[in-house]
């Protein structure tokens, strides 16, 4: 029973640092033996870089694959976004949901969705909803 919960420290096959938690390398990396977390991430970043997928869809800026963000489904954007474009889209989305698309006022607890024939994108406040339905 002794040694059941203790981990034996093993050296990383690349940097030779002794670690208790090791990672198994992929077969395509041509590395034998366990890896520490840092070496595993470095190899993964080096071997999984894709030339076509490393650009922001909106601004076209080239990023590493770990610095790209997946857009929300409701934004209807195909591809990946850099941090600046993601933050900009998120702010626009927040403005559409929290402010009236007609008068620009802050929307309260109850949100009114415009009718399709009005051709408005976003939400309406109570006053604008009443004004548009009265006409």
- The partner residues of 69 in beta bridges, in order of sequence, read 81
34-50 pLDDT per residue, tens: 899 899 888 888 877 55
Q: How many CA atoms lie within 13 A of 64 on its CB side?
A: 8
* Cβ-Cβ contacts under 8 Å for 110 (sequence gap 6 or more): 126
Give residue 87's pLDDT band: very low, low, confident or very high (50, 70, 90). Answer: very high
Q: Residue 4: is its pLDDT beyond 90?
A: no
pTM of this structure: 0.52
């Amino acid at each position: 029973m002794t040694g059941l919960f203790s981990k034996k420290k093993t050296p990383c096959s690349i940097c030779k640092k002794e670690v208790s938690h090791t990672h198994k390398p992929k077969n395509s990396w041509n590395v034998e033996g366990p890896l520490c977390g840092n070496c595993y991430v470095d190899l993964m970043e080096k071997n999984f870089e894709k030339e076509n997928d490393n650009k922001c869809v909106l601004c076209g800026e080239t990023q590493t694959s770990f610095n790209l963000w997946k857009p929300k489904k409701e934004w209807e954007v195909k591809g990946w976004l850099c941090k600046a474009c993601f933050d900009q889209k998120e702010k626009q989305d927040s403005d559409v949901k929290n402010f009236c698309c007609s008068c620009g006022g802050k929307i309260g607890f109850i949100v009114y969705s415009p009718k399709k024939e009005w051709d408005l994108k976003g939400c309406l406040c109570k006053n604008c909803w009443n004004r548009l339905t009265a006409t």
